[in-house]
Structure 1
Amino acid sequence: MRKLIILICMLFSSIIVSEEQKTPNYNNFIPPEIMTPDEVKTRIGTLEFFDGLPSENTVKLLYDNLDFIRGVDAFLNFVPAASLESVRVGHKKYGVQNSNQVVIFESLMDSNPLWLTGNTDTVYASTFIDLRKNGLTVIEIPPGMGPGTVNDAYFRYIIDMGTPGPDKGKGGKYLLVPPDFKGEVPKGYYVAKTSSYINWLILRGFLKDGSTDYSVNLLKNGLKIYPYSTKDNPEKMEFIDVSGLPVNTIHANNYMFFMELNDVIQREPVDFISPELRGILSSIGMEKGKSFSPDERLKNILTDSVAVANGTARSLAFSPREKDAYIYPDLYWQTAFVGNDYRWLKDNGTGGRFLDARTLYFYIATVNTPAMQAKLPGVGSQYAYLAVDESKNYLHGSKKYKLTLPANIPAKDFWSIVVYDPQTRSELQTSQPFPSKNNKRNTDLKFNSDGSIDLFFSPEAPEKMKSNWIQTVPNKGWFLLLRLYGPTNAYFDQTWKPGSLTLIE
């Protein structure tokens, strides 16, 4: 009997062991790196989980953070669209309602209007073309015209005109084709199809003998813009001289940025931007055909995100970490065209879109054309900007600085230095209407015996060097931009380099 009891107990024990073996112990074979602990400390706070399941508070924290990330992405990716929209709105304030109305700076652009790194030394002519209103649109460029460009509503390059365009400065007729055009395109034109309804035309004319007269007359007598449907009887051109008028053309850096951007999204075709870009906007409630009306929670998050994104854009522009942003290894001069590609493709596209470089450029500049970054000795233009002194300290308007440009400045046509306000990225407003020096316009510049030139930057003019002085504002920052028109090989091979900004006192 006793043996029978022992046998039954052993059998029962084996059954229990067998049943236990059927229940696997996951912790014995699941890799620890795929597990989520019950508590995770992060930069946004402590995340709590039960066996990988996020708590209610953690879910809220993470979704708020996701909306914040998408808001930052929206700003950094859509600076080009918001910037061009702000330029368009500025033109409306100038009185531009139709494409036959063109603003022109007959007396050059001074520091009164707010334009991203506007130029004091060329005659600007500018207008907006609404292809939804006009349909096919003709642009007639006169012979002898300087560089001109058309950009779409996302500041993408469409076509060049004038000297860098297919007419090669000989003049010609261009035809802008709307994104939804289905008919047969007329012949006899330089044709360019665009992805958006709104397109910006910007033309530049050069000084001749220090005067704007040649370029102003060329534009007024030769430039024509009209719908193709009215080609037999186009409306008369109207040129609006806006020299000295204080108008803002710069996008907002607070929550209003999203309102400006929404105007673009509602107006333009759905596919004028990629599904990925549309997805960023739809994730924060911005979608074509729908009202953009974030609730209080999302609006507060977006307000915070645009503050961080704006600071990020300023860091990219004035303290870039990309080594290719610096033109010379031993100096702090920067290029706004990091990567040397007007499409911002990194490493010929193998690195994808150079997103930081695109944000940097459009945060401080306008006009997108390959002619501005191509290495074309003797033609086109090149740009370099500087925001720090030789000790890598930001430039302070209360202090005195000297910049030496060595002899034989590599500019076949002319060179210029313009000073800008880091807040507005527009010309610095001082008692000097033109915060700049130009070897064609400023005929009283004093050069050194070796052919070099010293330029001075301070609140008050240095004794006996007022002709070489650009005024700054006490207790205010500034930066400068060097332009070379008709740059020669000495610039491209770096056998000529500008000096650093030396702090005098």
Structure 2
Amino acid sequence: MPSSPVHGTLANVRMDGELPRRADLPTIFDELDHQLACQAYLWSLPLVSYAQWQAQHRDVFGATDYDLVHYVTYQDRLGLITANATTPYILNFIDLSQTGPLVVELPPGPTAGGLSDFWQRECGILGEMGPDQGRGGKHLIVPPGQDTPDVDDSYYVHEASGMNVMFGFRTLDPDPARSQKLVDGIRITPFDGREAPQTRIVSPAGRAWNGDQPRGLDYWVRLHDIYQHEIVDERDRFYLAMLKQLGIEKGKPFEPDERLTRILTAATATGELMAQANSFAKRFPGALYWPDRQWDLVAQLDHSDQRGEHHDQLLERAAWFYEAVSFSEAMKSQTPGVGQAYLGAYTDAAGEWLDGGEHYTLHVPADPPAKLFWSATVYDVDTRCLIDNEQQRGDRGSRDPDLVKNDDGSVDLYFGPTAPGGREANWVQTIPGRHWFSYFRFYGPLEPYFDRSWKLGDITPA
């Protein structure tokens, strides 16, 4: 018999001496497959997230590999996991197995962009932080496993680490007309000169869309689909063995029977519970940015390649990519005045989940350490997307001209279902019956952030 008691469904397994009764073997195998599916869920979160978003571009927006989707309005961004509420996004997802080597041509001007594979690992930098340094030029993207074409010095070459890549960028010019000209100047074309559709700038145009990971069996349908046209990393082969046991194989249809459908559907729900706990109650050492505050350092990844000194960052990766999309070194800046820093609060000062039916305040002391700007944003726990409130506003920050400051330069923000009298400019509306969480972003974080001498207040019940 087992040396110690088992738990869960296996506690009901009857023994025949030191072995389980053969009649109870199906119960054991059901539990084994359930556990494999839960681990496969956590492992595949970043892959399924981008695959879902790619499908929305194709099926909802009608965008091809050669187009760009321009997210401008608050409504445009409602399907984007933990989007910045005010910064436009310009991006697309490209299947290099369909396009072959591809050229992205940037016009000269202040832009910041990058490429990442579908594990959301950065594999190329474009624009001011990249090799063109804002001068524009032709960026050649080479699919994995293909020889790099012989090109002259007019090309910047990026070797993709996945067959599917996300290309995204932001314009940094504050003038709207010049900024739009930069967006309109992007060209995406096949390297071999084949005729391709003209690069279009596609707008979500008010269409409802959903970029978070699907639930139920749809999660595994999306995973099976992207697995068919994505390469396999050597480090993932054990997980692919799990997928095989779950009916997901390369080159074969996904046709789960009644038993496997039941197991996969339940495992998606269990896996998401694990993902929620892993993200919203982080167990990683040093996750709390200040020991006496409830603010987490949300990005626990050490590097864009998601590799620690002695292990690959499985749970760190799952925590970030359940609640967010994309990661670059600049998003966890260690250099004062450069990049960004993100803190997250999932509970109030007493450690209770943030309730959309309650009222809260957040005290932001004077002189927040952000060279460019700071913002506090509210997200819906269920979708991890911007709160879809009647106000159609999810954040308040230093760029809001109507933000009311206290006499000492500090700011009090308010969260709740109804506006505080006379303080509407500093208020974000929450939704009764739904929980929420907040990100506090520093753009160009300064030394008082890094040395922790400046300290943000907790979100406190009013």
Q: Larger radius of gyration, structure 1 or 2?
A: 1
Q: Does 1:180 align with 2:139?
A: no
Map Cα deviations across residues 441-494 of structure 1 (whole Å, 9 max, x no partner).
Answer: x21111111111111111111111111111111222111111111111111111
**Cα gap change, 1:88 to 1:312, in 2 (>3 Å):** same
Q: Does 1:398 align with 2:357?
A: yes
Give, in angstroms, the shift of residue 75 of structure 1.
0.5
Q: For residue 321 of structure 1, what is the amino acid of its counterpart?
A: R
Q: Does 1:89 align with 2:51?
A: no
| Number of the residue aligned with 1:469 | 427
**Cα gap change, 1:280 to 1:324, in 2 (>3 Å):** farther
Q: Does 1:320 align with 2:282?
A: yes
CA distance in 1, matches of 2:458, 2:27: 48
Q: Given the alignment, which residue of 186, 192, 197 partners 1:229? A: 192
Q: Check conservation: 2:364, 2:412, Cα contact below 8 A.
A: yes
Give, in angstroms, the shift of residue 88 of structure 1.
0.3
CA distance in 2, matches of 1:453, 1:207: 28
| Number of the residue aligned with 2:180 | 216
| Number of the residue aligned with 2:257 | 295
| Number of the residue aligned with 2:170 | 204
Does 405-414 or 165-174 show the bigger shift?
A: 165-174
Give the SS at the match of 1:159.
strand
CA distance in 2, matches of 1:451, 1:69: 52
Does 299-308 or 244-253 show the bigger shift?
A: 244-253
Give, in angstroms, the shift of residue 268 of structure 1.
2.1
Map Cα deviations across residues 110-146 of structure 1 (whole Å, 9 max, x no partner).
Answer: 3763110111221210112221222111112333333
CA distance in 1, matches of 2:307, 2:3: 42
| Number of the residue aligned with 1:416 | 375
Give, in angstroms, the shift of residue 38 of structure 1.
10
CA distance in 2, matches of 1:228, 1:37: 61
Give, in angstroms, the shift of residue 183 of structure 1.
5.6
CA distance in 2, matches of 1:101, 1:498: 41
Does 43-52 or 414-423 show the bigger shift?
A: 43-52
Q: Does 1:382 align with 2:341?
A: yes
Give the SS at the match of 1:311.
helix
Give, in angstroms, the shift of residue 241 of structure 1.
2.5
Q: For residue 300 of structure 1, what is the amino acid of its counterpart?
A: R
**Cα gap change, 1:117 to 1:37, in 2 (>3 Å):** closer
**Cα gap change, 1:235 to 1:173, in 2 (>3 Å):** same
Map Cα deviations across residues 351-393 of structure 1 (whole Å, 9 max, x no partner).
Answer: x122111111111111122221231221211111111111111
Q: Map residues 76-155 of structure 1 onto 2, 5 A cutoff.
A: 76-105=42-71, 107-110=72-75, 113-155=78-120
Q: For residue 93 of structure 2, what is the amino acid of its counterpart?
A: F
Aligned length: 460
CA root-mean-square deviation: 2.3
Give, in angstroms, the shift of residue 95 of structure 1.
3.1
CA distance in 2, matches of 1:342, 1:327: 21
After TM superposition, the score normalised by the length of structure 1 is 0.85
Give, in angstroms, the shift of residue 187 of structure 1.
3.5
CA distance in 1, matches of 2:375, 2:177: 19
Does 274-283 or 79-88 show the bigger shift?
A: 274-283
**Cα gap change, 1:40 to 1:399, in 2 (>3 Å):** closer
Give, in angstroms, the shift of residue 406 of structure 1.
0.9
Map Cα deviations across residues 290-330 of structure 1 (whole Å, 9 max, x no partner).
Answer: 12212211221111111110111011111222233222211
Q: For residue 435 of structure 1, what is the amino acid of its counterpart?
A: G
**Cα gap change, 1:294 to 1:465, in 2 (>3 Å):** same
Contiguous gaps of at least 5 residues in structure 2: none
Give the SS at the match of 1:122.
coil
Q: Given the alignment, which residue of 445, 450, 454 partners 1:487? A: 445
Q: Does 1:358 align with 2:309?
A: no
Give the SS at the match of 1:427.
coil
Map Cα deviations across residues 329-359 of structure 1 (whole Å, 9 max, x no partner).
Answer: 111111221143333333xx22x12211111
Give, in angstroms, the shift of residue 434 of structure 1.
2.3
CA distance in 1, matches of 2:224, 2:119: 13
Runs of 4+ in 1 over 6 A off after TM superposition: none
Q: Given the alignment, which residue of 62, 72, 80 partners 2:38? A: 72
**Cα gap change, 1:234 to 1:403, in 2 (>3 Å):** same
Give, in angstroms, the shift of residue 37 of structure 1.
5.8
Q: Check conservation: 2:346, 2:438, Cα contact below 8 A.
A: yes
Aligned-residue identity in percent: 31
After TM superposition, the score normalised by the length of structure 2 is 0.93
CA distance in 1, matches of 2:454, 2:390: 33
CA distance in 2, matches of 1:451, 1:371: 28
